[in-house]
């Protein structure tokens, strides 16, 4: 029997979906959900929205608009589990369980947090000015979203790969501390769709609300046509050949056209089609593909109770998975009923809690590993390897008990095998004593455990 791949995708509810959201995330996710071997979970990430937005009306409006967009776009709620994050009380409870095992050092390295700190330092502010615990612990909430449903694949943009890796780290730490041989959490993988379009906006930059260069998806045909008319083009007049490969308008057309339509449009541009008529062709293409979905969208927005009913059904499906699983996790950490409680294997737990770990992970097309101390802090990060076997062989060599070739540098150290640098220290040490302590901690972490 073929195991169904569980796919999980969340959309943060802080804005109105535009054409770029549709082509880059919504459309491919809806198509993926139609795969008979996929078990798809799609949710409105409204807890995440609270990190970015403190306007209740905007969040409520966005929740409705995004739900209506997914449903109007063709998401079949009978094939998938479609729910609001805030309707699953098990999610924040799992977030706390994971927070209690997540290393602060791991969260310190989160890109969003570091970027906020760096911005404060650049402007002379206190490093943590304006930074909430919501922003800081965002990766733990995302880990709970993913690990609660043991997703195998998590479609994300490249800026979110780190968060999926953190979910792996936190899940492995929990398994290590409380599993006693059982793997509670599946290790998720980031799914990067290289073929998915990143659409240019009206000015040629990536289409984004922050650039104010978006094309509305379902507001109205007139709004879409007005936006398309503002697409920046060059000054070539009708009759002059246009270069499709350097045209933002052609890139937009290409993302929605069939191969035959694309080739015909390319030929017309090369033959001198005017930009005004080219923009009209783009509108006709989009209106033809999205017109029916736009009507469904407005029907849904006018009947919010219908969406509410569908989301509550989805929440019931999600909680049928989440509630019994959380009960297992509560039992594992010791939050047990006083009745018929089983004795915990204390000795083996203590032994497990003291162990360091080597974690392998994939990064794009490369393979890497990191060495973590018993407290979860990262001691070592490997170089990139072309395949997992090579990374595994290096790990085996480092744990073989042989003398390590560690070379000190000003602020850290590197590890070498056969004349090749295979890893480097994760921390930046301010003095030799700290660096030497880090090296000693690494030697201890890589020392083979004797039974």
φ, ψ dihedrals at 6, nearest 5°: -90, 125
Query: Contact at 8 Å (CB) between 279 and 248?
Result: no
145 is in an annotated binding site: yes
5 is in an annotated binding site: no
Query: Contact at 8 Å (CB) between 144 and 91?
Result: yes
137 is in an annotated binding site: no
Query: Contact at 8 Å (CB) between 232 and 200?
Result: no
207 is in an annotated binding site: yes
141 is in an annotated binding site: no
For residues 319 and 325, what is the distance between their CA atoms, to the nearest angstrom? 9
Q: Which of 188, 105, 180, 193 is nearest to 348 (CA)?
A: 180
Sign of the CA dihedral running 249, 251, 257, 262: positive
351 is in an annotated binding site: no
314 is in an annotated binding site: no
φ, ψ dihedrals at 195, nearest 5°: -85, -15
Task: Give SS3 for 10.
Answer: strand
Query: Contact at 8 Å (CB) between 207 and 218?
Result: no
258 is in an annotated binding site: no
Calculate the alpha carbon distances from 205 to 62, 109, 210, 218, 245 in Å.
Answer: 24, 28, 11, 21, 15
User: In degrees, to the nearest 5, what angle opens at C-alpha 303 toward C-alphas 301 and 306?
Assistant: 110
354 is in an annotated binding site: no
239 is in an annotated binding site: no
407 is in an annotated binding site: no
Task: Give SS3 for 385.
Answer: strand
Q: How does strand 5-12 pair with strand 38-45?
A: parallel
Q: Would you list which residues are annotated within the binding site for ATP?
A: 12-14, 20-21, 157-159, 199, 206-210
Q: Would you list which residues are annotated within the binding site?
A: 12-14, 20-21, 145, 157-159, 199, 206-210
Q: Would you list which residues are annotated within the binding site for L-tryptophan?
A: 145
């Amino acid at each position: 029997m073929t195991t169904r791949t569980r796919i999980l995708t969340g959309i943060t509810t802080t804005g109105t979906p535009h054409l770029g959201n549709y082509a880059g995330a919504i459309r491919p996710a809806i198509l993926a959900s139609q795969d008979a071997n996929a078990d798809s979970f799609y949710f409105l990430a409204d807890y995440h929205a609270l990190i970015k937005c403190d306007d209740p009306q905007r969040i409520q409006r966005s929740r409705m608009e995004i739900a209506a967009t997914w449903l109007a776009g063709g998401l079949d709620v009978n094939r998938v589990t479609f729910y609001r994050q805030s309707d699953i009380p098990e999610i924040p409870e799992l977030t706390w369980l994971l927070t209690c095992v997540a290393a602060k050092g791991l969260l310190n390295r989160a890109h969003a947090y570091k970027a906020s700190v760096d911005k404060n330092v650049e402007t002379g502010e206190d490093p943590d000015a304006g930074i909430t615990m919501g922003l800081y612990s965002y990766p733990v909430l995302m880990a709970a979203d993913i690990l609660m449903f043991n997703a195998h694949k998590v479609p994300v943009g490249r800026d979110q790969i780190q968060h999926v890796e953190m979910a792996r780290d936190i899940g492995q730490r929990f398994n290590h501390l409380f599993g006693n041989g059982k793997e509670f959490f599946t290790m998720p993988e980031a799914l990067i769709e290289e073929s998915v379009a990143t659409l240019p906006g009206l000015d040629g930059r990536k289409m984004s609300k922050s650039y104010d260069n978006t094309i509305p998806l379902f507001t109205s045909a007139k709004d879409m046509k007005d936006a398309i008319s503002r697409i920046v083009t060059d000054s070539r007049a009708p009759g002059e050949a246009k270069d499709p490969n350097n045209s933002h308008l052609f890139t937009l057309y290409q993302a929605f056209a069939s191969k035959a339509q694309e080739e015909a449009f390319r030929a017309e541009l090369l033959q001198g089609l005017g930009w005004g008529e080219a923009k009209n062709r783009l509108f006709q293409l989009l209106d033809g593909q999205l017109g029916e979905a736009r009507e469904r969208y407005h029907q849904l927005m006018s009947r919010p109770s219908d969406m509410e009913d569908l989301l509550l059904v989805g929440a019931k499906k999600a909680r049928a998975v989440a509630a019994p699983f959380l009960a297992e996790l509560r039992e594992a950490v010791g939050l047990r009923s006083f009745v018929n409680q089983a004795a915990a294997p204390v000795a083996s737990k203590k032994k497990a809690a003291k162990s360091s770990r080597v974690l392998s992970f994939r990064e794009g097309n490369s393979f890497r590993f990191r060495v973590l101390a018993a407290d979860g802090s990262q001691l070592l990060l490997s170089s990139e390897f072309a395949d997992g076997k090579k990374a595994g062989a290096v790990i085996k060599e480092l744990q073989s008990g042989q003398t390590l070739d560690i070379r000190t540098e000003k602020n850290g150290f590197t590890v070498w095998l056969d004349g090749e640098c295979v890893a480097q220290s994760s921390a930046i040490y301010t003095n030799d004593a700290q660096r030497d302590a880090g090296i000693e901690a690494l030697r201890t972490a890589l020392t083979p455990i004797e039974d």
